Amino acid sequence: MTGFWMSPIRQWNRHLVDGMNTFGKPVNIVEALADKLKADGFVGIVVMATVIVIGAGAGGITTAARLAQQGFHVKVVEKHGFIGGRCSIISKDGFRFDQGPSLLLMREIFEETFQDLGTSLEQENVHLVKCEPNYCVWFPDKNIIELSTDLAHLKTQIQDHEGPDGFPRFCAFLNEAGTHYNLSLAHVLRKNFPRLLSLLRWDVLKALISMHPWTSTYSRAARYFYSEKMRRVWTFGSMYLGMSPYRAPGTYSLLQYVETVDGIWYPEGGFQMVLRVLADIGQRSGAEYILNSPVKSVLLDDSDHVARGILLENGEELHADLVVINADLVYAYNELLPKTRRSRSLKKRPASCSSISFFWSFDEKLPHLRAHNIFLAEKYRESFDAIFDEHRIPDEPSFYVNVPSKIDPTAAPPGKEAVVVLVPVGHLTSVNGGQLEEQRWDTLVSQTRETVLDTIQVQTGLQGLRSRLVHEMVETPFTWERKFNLDRGAILGLSHAFFNVLSFRPRTKHPDIERVYFVGASTHPGTGVPVCLAGSKLVAQQIVEDWSRAIRQKSRTGLILTVVMALSVLVVSFLWKQN
């Protein structure tokens, strides 16, 4: 492809006098110079780089598609034989389970992503099913609260617990949560924070005041709800971030706003369907996927300051101009890149929780359960303290139960039920890790299974669950760590405490090694599929800008060199003729 400045050079060539080579034969000097520069890579700003993306998670897949459509030559290298990372599917005897997310929130981010890629969810045959109610929240006293987009239904339940003035207070809470959402969308999800000074932009500082990041989600809810049950109902969502509602910044009430205003959705065929389509879009634009290929390290130049590709565990080297890392960020800093004080410090940063996740196949329908169920512990705060302060399994855990076959019949054989249970637990530490501790965890998993089954039976009235359970698969902090290289088994990456987000979060571009970028849960803007999709846009824009700037500088240098040499040719030719 001819560069921006090549054509003018060739035009100038018509007005230059041919020189002589060292053997006295005529040679078109400028033409030869242009060919030489072209061979050396000085071909203008339109030249696109080769990019390797490590990891086919949500952020990696979407970044690959965006860069491929910009003309970059992209290869996505994935450890597993499937795409999606934690957003993958587990199938067994006709039962299908979402290993990661089981609901879709913030539809506008998904719609914007597909629109940026020149298509839409509808055009790609992604069908979203609305879940109604959003959740069924079960309390130990067998009281049930259904969260819904139906405000009339919500109003009745809120007034039952909050009194006649409860609903206006709820509306005020929703208004504040909506402000949090809109400001976060504008000033966090759609802006990068490449340096500390980025946080000092006036528009960001002004927005932060209204986003209440210095108070907890629970304390914000307590301003509007007076009953303990309502406070719990409107704060348990912090578990999406792997955080305690007593520590999660008040900003994250935005989740409750999104769920109430837009609802909860489920992609037919499982959540991975969305990522498969995004991968297909990337492949149509030229992106290549290399599966079953674990990466051993990022290849660097002799100075250890510029990436030049990757080394696979099988010894094969893949070279590229740029490397985008979608693997767990803390793992990547410590295992794929040279260890430094920065990489070691990342392992000390606060991390999200882990989970014990059960994937159960039942041979009968479970009529009492909804698609999304939350079982809250009697000792609500104590259960979170056990997870985040003591990094263990609570004596009485709160947990989430998803029954995808309630809204998508293809998730289980007729007359049967697929069930996913997620029990938040503490992430691994240097104290609770190791082989002996792993054996102890096997016992803890058995105890947790019994607690969950007993709780469901007592609170819902379902009986005989154990006899109906025909198959089980389990993930623990150890298996999360080993299967997906998650540091400390933290399923949602680094914590989202205030001093771990925005400019304080690890950057999307490596601060010391050139041409290395990051996308995913532990870099800006944070965790969750829609947030990672927003992050893919930020990092793709950053890559395009950086690469274009580098090529412009190279082209400018080449142009100056060409002009100097062209003038030299004129002078030499003039002197030659004079002699």
Would you say residue 559 lies in a domain?
Answer: no
The CA-atom distances, in angstroms, between 358 and each of 12, 272, 417, 566 are 72, 18, 14, 72
Give the distance, in angstroms, between the CA of residue 28 and the centroid of all CA atoms in the same chain: 54
3-state SS, one letter per residue, for 420-453: EEEEEECCCCCCCCCHHHHHHHHHHHHHHHHHHH
**Tokens encoding 147:** 């969260």
Alpha carbon of residue 485 to chain centroid: 15
Of 229, 262, 295, the position where a domain reaches its end is 262
Q: Is residue 189 located within the same domain as residue 237?
A: yes
- At residue 344, what are phi and psi to the nearest 5 degrees? -70, -35
Decide if 63 is inside a domain: yes
176/257 same-domain check: yes
CATH assignment of the domain containing 227: 1.10.405
With beta carbons less than 8 A apart as the criterion, state whether 47 and 321 touch: no
196 falls in which pLDDT band (50, 70, 90)?
confident
474-512 residues labelled b (16+ CB within 10 A) or e (exposed): bbbbbbbbebbbbbbbbbbbbbbbeebbbbebbbbbbee
Q: Is 557 among the domain residues?
A: no
pLDDT at 151: 96
Average pLDDT over the chain, rounded to an integer: 89
Q: Is the pLDDT of residue 404 over 60?
A: yes
Q: For residue range 432-458, what is the model confidence (pLDDT) as tens digits? A: 555 556 678 889 999 999 999 999 999
CA distance 508 to 325: 9
Each residue of 107-123: pLDDT tens digit? 999 999 999 999 999 99
In a domain, 301, yes or no: yes
- Can you give the pTM of this predicted structure? 0.88
Residue 216 lies in a domain: yes
Residues 163 and 250 in one domain: yes
3-state secondary structure at position 349: coil
What are the structure tokens assigned to 195, written together? Answer: 């340096």
| DSSP assignment string, 289-314 | EE-S--EEEEEE-TTSSBEEEEEETT
pLDDT of residue 457: 97
What residue numbers bound the domain in which 72 lies?
Answer: 50-84+272-349+496-549
Q: Domain for residue 525, yes or no? A: yes
What whole-number distance in Å separates Cα of residue 425 and Cα of residue 392? 6
Last residue of a domain, one of 208, 227, 262: 262
For residue 246, is pLDDT > 50? yes
Helix ranges (DSSP H) in 70-150: 107-116
- 579 pLDDT band (50/70/90 cuts)? low
d(CA 252, CA 211): 9
Convert the pLDDT of each residue in 112-151 to its tens digit. Answer: 999 999 999 999 999 999 999 999 999 999 999 999 999 9
Residue 167 host element (H or E)? helix 166-184
Residues 292 and 335 in one domain: yes
On whether both 284 and 190 belong to a single domain, the answer is no
Q: Is residue 177 part of a domain?
A: yes
Q: Are 282 and 327 in the same domain?
A: yes
Per-residue pLDDT reduced to its tens digit, 506-552: 999 999 999 999 999 999 999 999 999 999 999 999 999 999 888 77
Residues 190 and 255 in one domain: yes
Residue 23 has pLDDT above 50, yes or no: no
Task: Quick: pLDDT tens for 375-386.
Answer: 999 999 999 999
Residues 184 and 238 in one domain: yes
Same domain, 285 and 198: no
> 247 and 302: one domain?
no
pLDDT value at position 548?
Answer: 86
SS3 (DSSP) at 82 = coil
**Residue where a domain terminates, one of 228, 262, 296:** 262
Does residue 328 belong to any structural domain of this protein? yes
- Tell me the residue type at 485: N
Q: Considering its fold, how many domains does the chain have in total?
A: 2
**255/155 same-domain check:** yes
Q: Let me know: does 174 contact 257? Beta carbons within 8 Å.
A: yes
Distance separating alpha carbons of residues 328 and 205, to the nearest angstrom: 30
Helices 6-13 & 29-39, crossing angle to 10 degrees? Answer: 160
Residue 65 has pLDDT above 70, yes or no: yes
| CATH number of 513's domain | 3.50.50.60
* Strand 89-92 with 288-290, pairing: unpaired
What band does 430 get if pLDDT is binned at 50, 70 and 90? confident
Instruction: Answer yes or no: is pLDDT of 264 > 60.
Output: yes
Residue 33: pLDDT over 60? no
What does each C-alpha distance from 437 to 246, 423, 429 come to in angstroms?
A: 29, 19, 11
- Residue 560's pLDDT is what? 64
Long-range contacts of 447-456 (CB under 8 A, 24+ apart): 447/393, 448/356, 448/393, 448/397, 448/423, 449/358, 451/396, 451/397, 452/358, 452/397, 452/399, 452/421, 452/423, 455/375, 455/399, 456/369, 456/375, 456/401
The dihedrals phi and psi of 100, each to the nearest 5 degrees, come to: -115, -120
Residue 417's DSSP bridge partners are 362
Question: How are strands ordered across the β-sheet holding 516-518?
Answer: 288-290, 73-77, 50-54, 322-325, 516-518
- Distance separating alpha carbons of residues 164 and 498, to the nearest angstrom: 36
Q: How far is CA 246 from CA 249, 374, 474, 502, in A?
A: 8, 18, 29, 20
Together in a domain, 155 and 251? yes
Answer for the pair 371, 131: CB distance below 8 angstroms, yes or no: yes
Q: Is the pLDDT of residue 204 over 70?
A: yes
Tokens representing 368 are 């009492």
